[in-house]
Amino acid sequence: MGTFQLMPFDPLSVDPSEKKRVAYFYDSDVGNYAYGAGHPMKPHRIRMAHSLIMNYGLYKKMEIYRAKPATKQEMCQFHTDEYIDFLARVTPDNLDMFSKEQIKFNVGDDCPVFDGLFEYAAISGGGSMEGAARLNRGKCDIAINYAGGLHHAKKSEASGFCYLNDIVLGIIELLRYHPRVLYIDIDVHHGDGVEEAFYTTDRVMTCSFHKYGEFFPGTGELRDIGVGKGKHHAVNVPLRDGIDDATYKSIFEPVIKRIMDWYQPSAVVLQCGGDSLSGDRLGCFNLSIKGHANCVNYVKSFNIPMMVLGGGGYTMRNVSRTWTYETGLLNNTLLDPELPYNDYYEYYGPDYQLDVRPSNMHNANSPEYLSKILSQIFSNLENTRHTPSVQMNDVPHDLEDFGDEEEDTADAMDTKGGSQFARDNIIVPDNEFYDGDDKQKSKDISDHKDGETHPRPTMSIIPPDYYEKAAADMVKELENEES
Ligand SMILES: [Zn+2]
């Protein structure tokens, strides 16, 4: 069992007759925030993706919402009060007054303090919480929030360009209704913040596919599988440089299939970090747009309530292309490879195509190496079938939505109705951790000891030569424009 077999990479297909209700969350303010000159993380890419998505006409197929930004109180369902207080108060102007806190909460180079930092974090959190709430209420089958997916943020610490862990907040909301939630992470970096938050519970299984070995954040080894009740409920797929479409598919699909069979989640959250694409400024994988999107299409094929989030992605034009293509797939549409005119059309030259091509880089993931990973993961998963503490019999059906669509749209525009609704209608017993009003309990989520299974090497997500390379790229781009 568990032998790696390279599958052919077939063209992606959709079923245009399948009707999914897709709720897409976008706040037009998000593109206005900036981490600072030259910083690789650019929230502008979310606005670029949005413009492309709209100009492909996808607004006709899905419901578009602007979520209410997450409140401090909502953020503290996972984060500590003092950390959130700090995020709310610190600005570039008063930074000097917080020299102790800067170290304590890890803000600085990777995670700079910039104007509107708190509002930016609140937008990403609001979209994921509201998306989860709408899934809980059965008001959509798929919720999309590309401003979310900020998987490195810790309970009391910023990390890897992430301040607020919108994913953990979204999953906490899903756990109000869902006995078991599966989190899948296809960012090139390990999904450490989400893994750590749920490391001791069997109600969330985390599964991260990432580059491992002298790479940020340094965690996510094959042998890190969770502790206590959470043992065997963290899955790590440590990969080497240069993985291509067929190889990624051939490891991703069997692992996800096996998890679906054994763990039987009732909801799934997919973090779609775009730094696993070929040509990413920080990444080192070799996925084309189709190799990345195949993961989205495959997870969608299980037909369980699904939340789709953004994440990393540092070559903006490729991230926006990919999230657009994937939004098409989620709406059962294969988009025209010719890009429509959009607000940022000039970014997509010289080809103006909806494509991200692989390079000829070496794939350092051998079939022997991948076989070893696969057989270890399969053998670990055999321990998960009977362990979930909430039995399948107790799974509540999602409440049916008897409201009309017009009313739904109106209330979704300006309320956090889902969350309130969920609070008033908790039907899953709060059997271990989750009671949003009981701060102490929910804090226990990530109170397991770091260190033994989670060495946290000090490492920067921005490699030392990044700024030099970025400057050289700029020169090259200017030269190309001139010629
Ligand atoms: Zn990343």
Dump pLDDT digits (tens) for 328-341.
999 999 999 999 99
Dump pLDDT digits (tens) for 195-253.
999 999 999 999 999 999 999 999 999 999 999 999 999 999 999 999 999 999 999 99
Residue 311's nearest CA partner among 85, 129, 147 is: 147
Quick one: 414 and 344 in the same domain?
Answer: no
In a domain, 370, yes or no: yes
CA of 187 to the centre of ligand 1 (A): 5
Is 108 known to sit in a ligand binding site?
no
Dump pLDDT digits (tens) for 106-139.
999 999 999 999 999 999 999 999 999 999 999 9
CA of 395 to the centre of ligand 1 (A): 34
Dump pLDDT digits (tens) for 44-86.
999 999 999 999 999 999 999 999 999 999 999 999 999 999 9
Quick one: 371 and 427 in the same domain?
Answer: no
Quick one: 162 and 43 in the same domain?
Answer: yes
CA of 170 to the centre of ligand 1 (A): 19
In this predicted structure, the answer to whether residue 453 has a pLDDT above a threshold of 90 is no
Residues 6+ apart with CB under 8 A from 270: 184, 186, 295, 296, 299, 306, 307, 308, 309
Tokens standing for residue 440: 């102490």
Q: Which of 152, 233, 448, 454 is catalytic?
A: 152
Structure confidence at residue 447 (pLDDT): 45
Q: How far is CA 156 from CA 79, 159, 244, in A?
A: 6, 10, 36
In a domain, 254, yes or no: yes
Is 187 known to sit in a ligand binding site?
yes
- Asked which of 21-25, 90-94, 356-360, 411-415 is least confident by mean pLDDT, the reply is 411-415
In this predicted structure, the answer to whether residue 91 has a pLDDT above a threshold of 80 is yes
Dump pLDDT digits (tens) for 297-346.
999 999 999 999 999 999 999 999 999 999 999 999 999 999 999 999 99
Is 220 known to sit in a ligand binding site?
no
CA of 139 to the centre of ligand 1 (A): 30
Tell me if 105 sits within 8 A of 159, measured CB to CB.
no
pLDDT classification of 470: cutoffs 50, 70, 90: confident
* Full residue range of the structural domain in which residue 477 is found: 410-482
Structure confidence at residue 337 (pLDDT): 98
Which CATH number does the domain housing residue 114 bear? 3.40.800.20
Tokens standing for residue 82: 């003092």
Tokens standing for residue 407: 């009313």
Structure confidence at residue 2 (pLDDT): 74
Q: What's the whole-number mean pLDDT along residues 384-395?
A: 52
CA of 189 to the centre of ligand 1 (A): 4
Domain count, the chain: 2
Q: How far is CA 187 from CA 19, 284, 292, in A?
A: 28, 11, 10
Which residues are registered as beta bridge partners of 182? 205, 268
Based on the residue annotation, tell me whether 44 is a catalytic residue of this protein: no
Quick one: 231 and 332 in the same domain?
Answer: yes
In a domain, 176, yes or no: yes
Quick one: 475 and 368 in the same domain?
Answer: no
Tell me if 200 sits within 8 A of 230, measured CB to CB.
yes
Residue 157 CA to residue 193 CA, distance in Å, equals 10
Residue 160 CA to residue 183 CA, distance in Å, equals 19
In this predicted structure, the answer to whether residue 149 has a pLDDT above a threshold of 70 is yes
Residue 394's nearest CA partner among 183, 122, 116, 203 is: 203
Higher pLDDT, 33 or 454: 33
Structure confidence at residue 412 (pLDDT): 35
Structure confidence at residue 481 (pLDDT): 60
Q: What's the whole-number mean pLDDT along residues 161-179?
A: 98
CA of 25 to the centre of ligand 1 (A): 21
- How many degrees, rounded to 5, is the angle at CA 332 between CA 327 and CA 335? 60
Structure confidence at residue 475 (pLDDT): 79
Among 367, 384, 401, residue at a domain's last position = 384
- The values of phi and psi at residue 269, to 5°, are -115, 125
Quick one: 363 and 440 in the same domain?
Answer: no
Is 26 known to sit in a ligand binding site?
no
Is 44 known to sit in a ligand binding site?
no
The 8-class DSSP code of residue 195 comes to: H
Residue 187's nearest CA partner among 104, 304, 275, 119 is: 275
Q: Are strands 22-25 and 142-145 parallel, antiparallel or unpaired?
A: parallel
Tell me if 136 sits within 8 A of 428, measured CB to CB.
no
Is 110 known to sit in a ligand binding site?
yes
CA of 310 to the centre of ligand 1 (A): 10
Quick one: 374 and 430 in the same domain?
Answer: no
Q: Name the average pLDDT for the chain.
A: 88
Quick one: 295 and 421 in the same domain?
Answer: no
Predicted TM-score (pTM) of this structure: 0.87
Task: End-to-end CA distance of the chain: give it in Å, rounded.
Answer: 56
Tell me if 268 sits within 8 A of 181, measured CB to CB.
yes
CA of 315 to the centre of ligand 1 (A): 12
Tokens standing for residue 361: 């880089």
Residue 29's nearest CA partner among 112, 124, 110 is: 124
